[in-house]
Structure 1
């Protein structure tokens, strides 16, 4: 099935659909700095466009398609500041145009189905009225839509990362969401005996070499150990994007004071903590600067881009390009490919390609 990815960023959502056998034919984002990473890792065209100014039909035209030609539209429009009042009075309001323009683009592109990903709070904003509004808009343009909040750790990602997913289908029943296959912590009790133990930071980092601040290495520390490391290295890549942030002595001393799993002693950085080997990581953040949010479990430093990518389930042959701050932004904002793949497989199991 042919798919277009709106608000594609580095292409995490696209990567999961690629892995599930879909043909991602294009990615759209207003941030041109993402183009090199997206096009290097996908056999697809990157369209630099602001969807408040370019129509869905305009995007299709640039990709060589007509409305109704692509089977699916996927994307994760940011919802910062989304306001129902703004949505009702001015759909182009900068606080909410990204979500409303995703809906508008779906209407104009006429796919058989769509997937929209977002932060979980979009389902509870304004006491649930924003969710009601979004579902009503998808209904108005002809899509029967279901939603669910999914945790990436439940699908084999070594990170607790909850995201809201909306799946809309133009014809037929609502599409079911994938069942969880992993536990999301070593302490979690589940009703299903089939849920596997969680993948952990140790699973993600075990074969990557130790680094000092500012150091870069291009050789693995060992052969892959375990299913997750083998999956990340399945195409036999060289090690890339593995450079540590170049911390000064003061930062290193702060990190040294934190035991694994503890917060790093900052007065104004409450989210900075040292990762614990034996559990999935907390939700990875983007960050506008080449700084760090999480410290390595044993090295006194922040994470390399490759370590961030491992926590997100990007395979090691997925190369991140551009300035380091942009690479951190791309890895922090992305949909984990293994989570995306689980959703994509569920869709293909329930929806036949359009003919």
Structure 2
């Protein structure tokens, strides 16, 4: 089996996919104790628990029982909040490389330089490559060039922004994927297979992923709470708070685009899920069409984790671990492509193990509830969002 080193492993989202593509995780490095405990409970991988900045590459290789240049693959998704879309939205033109959290990129490059695997795989937020704000991507490119100059390697970097739903995941989730080959071969990203009519298959839906699970799970903490809990049942499947604006089909309770997108966002049975959030508020979706929070098993299904993975911890812990992960099906697809193009020439299978089935009998949309009287006081005229850089958050920054 091809052997890999995993950095910033989290709860193992990437690893579960590469595992299905025939890779063996020789060592997983993760800082968060709850993630490490779950890794140990679900897999027998060697787990290094700690901050990557305090763990040497020699320790990583020793734990993996591998020598320099021996690993087949190095994988990881360095946490890069400064480059996320929400980071730009919250702080304006983010400091990006001046933010100490951007040092995670340098740590990945340090391990890459010291271990020099045959192939490396790095995934991150699409914001890392935003036009005019691509300092993070440029740092990676420059780092790879320095490694080649220092060690006489020929790493060639290929990158692309991909949507997991276009490769069979039942969740719309965009990621920047970078792949480098030590011998200088270019990696050709596979064509998207799922989506519009000109593709091979339709997108997988939330019903495809969840249709065989009980609609009333035996799990505590799923009831929606807070100020807006009674408003969620008045919103149709696949809609959010925009339903209750003067441009929606409900009552004018809010200004157009005055709230964040996931506010009161509800899954639709016949569409892919929206991106699962790692740290949602009480009104942050996506919520289940039964007007409740998603169960831990439902979260794992939408993230295409293998069904034998059982997560332990608080409701917040599980939401955070799953929300911070990458759909495992995406790494299963990329893992087979890496093997086929750059490693052992194995042919990718016709069916991926983590892809959900296509369910033919999708139930009709649930009926919506009437507006509770307590929200009637909100009915009225509400100004729409005035445009980028002029909303409430921008006003607070100026103040």
Give the TM-score band, short-chain normalised.
0.7 to 0.9
Kept in 2: contact 1:153–1:198 (CA 8 A): yes
Kept in 2: contact 1:144–1:170 (CA 8 A): yes
State the secondary structure of the residue aligned to 1:96. Answer: helix
- Is 1:284 the counterpart of 2:261? The answer is no
State the secondary structure of the residue aligned to 2:202. Answer: coil
Matched length: 314
Of 340-349 and 195-204, the range deviating more from structure 2: 195-204
Shift of 1:128: 3.2
**Counterpart-to-counterpart distance in 2, 1:170 and 1:123:** 23
In structure 2, the partner of 1:208 is 213
Shift of 1:8: 0.4
In structure 2, the partner of 1:220 is none
Shift of 1:189: 4.6
Shift of 1:86: 7.6
In structure 1, the partner of 2:357 is none
**Counterpart-to-counterpart distance in 2, 1:141 and 1:344:** 24
Deviation readout 1:213-262 (Å, 9 max, x if unpaired): xxx43xxxxxxxxxxxxxxxxxxxxxxxx555243485541221111111
Q: Any stretches of 5+ residues in structure 1 without a counterpart?
A: 218-241
**Counterpart-to-counterpart distance in 2, 1:37 and 1:289:** 24
In structure 2, the partner of 1:163 is 175
**Which entry has the higher C-alpha Rg, 1 or 2?**
2
**Counterpart-to-counterpart distance in 2, 1:114 and 1:256:** 46
Kept in 2: contact 1:113–1:169 (CA 8 A): yes
In structure 2, the partner of 1:128 is 134
Q: 1:245 aligns with which of 222, 226, 236?
A: 222
Q: How does 1:23-102 map to 2 (within 5 A)?
A: 23-81=24-82, 94-102=100-108
Change (3 A) 1:289 1:254: closer
Deviation readout 1:180-220 (Å, 9 max, x if unpaired): 1111xxxx353x4xx20110011112111122xxxx43xxx
State the secondary structure of the residue aligned to 2:171. Answer: coil
Q: Any stretches of 5+ residues in structure 2 without a counterpart?
A: 84-92, 149-154, 245-252, 345-399
Kept in 2: contact 1:274–1:295 (CA 8 A): yes
**Counterpart-to-counterpart distance in 2, 1:295 and 1:85:** 33
Shift of 1:131: 2.1
Deviation readout 1:82-117 (Å, 9 max, x if unpaired): 699885xx8xx6231111111111111221111000
Kept in 2: contact 1:52–1:97 (CA 8 A): no
In structure 1, the partner of 2:296 is 305
